[in-house]
Structure 1
């Protein structure tokens, strides 16, 4: 006989209403309660009744997309790609935002597991592969956008962030810049890879790379970082800034221009992602193009491929190479 909510509650040592909250409103529960309920559900193999009904009938057509930061323009493009390809396949797609919060990221995965979506595409903050492998054992397939440890159960779509950072560094060297400031977030692996590529490019070239950490990779971070540049003596300022994304670069550009610092004459500026704002800014930004829409479509297609043949191993990672788009923020008019 299938396990019930009461069975889960008894094993977890909580009330039935707590189990109901876990399934429908997990954010209202504390971490300890969520973990007890999750462990009981896993041990009993409990599936919410509606999801079980759909799965028995073969009618469940729900997938999930979990984003690192839904407010960034790059993720708008990626979301459209995932949604378009899954909709074309006749699937419904639910969205959630982790907001760069590890606990929220885990809760989002748990929520979709409880509702038994059949597949998940995720752009993660943390290493989520162990959690996704556990879901794979229960029939929920997944695709990670970004690098992951080797896995026989989880697929991935890759972008060459190291190569993108290398392109930015080589370009800045080619226009004579030697004091390069990198703005990025050390908690985001892709940002760290972009910094690695930059350092590889300038190694042995007589150039220096300094690093200023930013928290959220948003425009406000760029504004604040540029305030520190403005406060420096002119001879101590970098002659180039490489920002881990275009939003940070846009903030830097705005602040520098407000204080009469010329871009690119005084400081050259490179962003990353090549979102629409890069070409629309008052000084169009040189940027490393990351094709968010195409990456999203590839991730959605990789998920549908797994769902079409659950017995097959995950498809090989889909690689995307970097491309530098040169504009006025580094070479002028």
Structure 2
């Protein structure tokens, strides 16, 4: 006979109601009790009947994470942060990918509502706050990673994207660069904020900013964008490129080097995020560091705080500051 809740309770030295709370409402238990029950479950190989349990409890012990583009390395870091907090609190976590598709994003939210998750963390494409506020009415709390309008039920975790764009622009100006090309996606608010920061930096300097749209913010987009650059006469090319993320910047870097254009001598290059690949290339990439793992942890902690006290207003979180990481793609190789 498979182990039961009573067996787990006996091994853990707790009551059956404590085991039930661990399965249904883990946030009400202390860390020590959660650990004892978790260890007993693992030792016995106890597997709860999720369908029956959810019908009895009227809820699940699951949280959901809706990503904008799961294939980008930044979102791997962010996901690990959310997952570590969720699992540490005794929650399970489901993942989905909107793939920069508004309709798919809507269906992902619908799916998690149907599965009665207790909370949702989302890095959105569009304005999802009205929908999330309606979910709050049925007990599903949410955290948005990114800027939102003030909400009485939805929390947000912010990064200073505009400040990061400003840092990138100020750095390029300090190097004497005056023809700056920005590669971004206007459908993504964070990309627009990075562009706004760049424009803040160059205002009144005499430098120009040209914008080229890239659809998916992926390496292939950078390769394609740089194909156009290499067809231009040398005096018509930008002398600097600021990409809305590192993967686009790395695509640009690859294409420029393939065509004999020197980085940074001919064109300086700045990315955004500081993913691992940024420092691993032939020419290490100057970038704006965005701490994906820490942001994910902050979002997870905010959601668990909301679930522990559903009557409280959404927690206020301090925006994560931007940090410029200077490498060879803008300043060249430094003598040791």
TM-score (norm 1): 0.84
* Contact 1:273/1:287 (8 A) holds in 2: yes
When residues 308 and 252 of structure 1 are mapped into structure 2, their CA distance, relative to the original with a 3 A threshold, is same
For residues 176 and 252 of structure 1, what CA distance do their matches in structure 2 show?
A: 21
Q: How far off its partner does 1:318 sit?
A: 3.4
Number of corresponding residues: 284
Note if 1:197 corresponds to 2:209.
Answer: no
What is the match of residue 307 of structure 1?
307
For residues 161 and 128 of structure 2, what CA distance do their matches in structure 1 show?
A: 20
Could you report, residue by residue, the CA deviation over 1:206-265 in whole angstroms, capped at 9, with x for unpaired residues? 100001111000000000000000000000000000000000000000000000000000
For residues 68 and 318 of structure 1, what CA distance do their matches in structure 2 show?
A: 22
RMSD over equivalenced CA pairs, Å: 1.2
What is the match of residue 4 of structure 2?
none
What is the match of residue 133 of structure 1?
133
What is the match of residue 291 of structure 1?
291
What is the match of residue 157 of structure 1?
157
Q: How far off its partner does 1:53 sit?
A: 5.0
For residues 279 and 111 of structure 2, what CA distance do their matches in structure 1 show?
A: 38
For residues 101 and 282 of structure 1, what CA distance do their matches in structure 2 show?
A: 34
Q: How far off its partner does 1:56 sit?
A: 4.6
Q: How far off its partner does 1:60 sit?
A: 2.5
For structure 2, the residue ranges without an aligned partner over 5 or more in a row are 1-49
For residues 294 and 301 of structure 1, what CA distance do their matches in structure 2 show?
A: 10
Q: How far off its partner does 1:61 sit?
A: 1.1
What is the match of residue 247 of structure 1?
247
Q: How far off its partner does 1:332 sit?
A: 0.2
Q: How far off its partner does 1:317 sit?
A: 3.0
What is the match of residue 179 of structure 1?
179
* Contact 1:298/1:318 (8 A) holds in 2: no
- Secondary structure, counterpart of 1:319 in structure 2: coil
For residues 237 and 207 of structure 1, what CA distance do their matches in structure 2 show?
A: 14
- Secondary structure, counterpart of 1:318 in structure 2: coil
What is the match of residue 108 of structure 1?
108
For residues 203 and 55 of structure 1, what CA distance do their matches in structure 2 show?
A: 59
Aligned counterparts, 1:200-219, within 5 A = 200-219=200-219
Q: How far off its partner does 1:70 sit?
A: 0.1
Aligned counterparts, 1:15-164, within 5 A = 53-54=53-54, 56-57=56-57, 60-164=60-164
- Secondary structure, counterpart of 1:165 in structure 2: helix
For residues 209 and 111 of structure 1, what CA distance do their matches in structure 2 show?
A: 42
When residues 200 and 66 of structure 1 are mapped into structure 2, their CA distance, relative to the original with a 3 A threshold, is same
For structure 1, the residue ranges without an aligned partner over 5 or more in a row are 1-49
TM-score (norm 2): 0.83
Q: How far off its partner does 1:54 sit?
A: 2.2
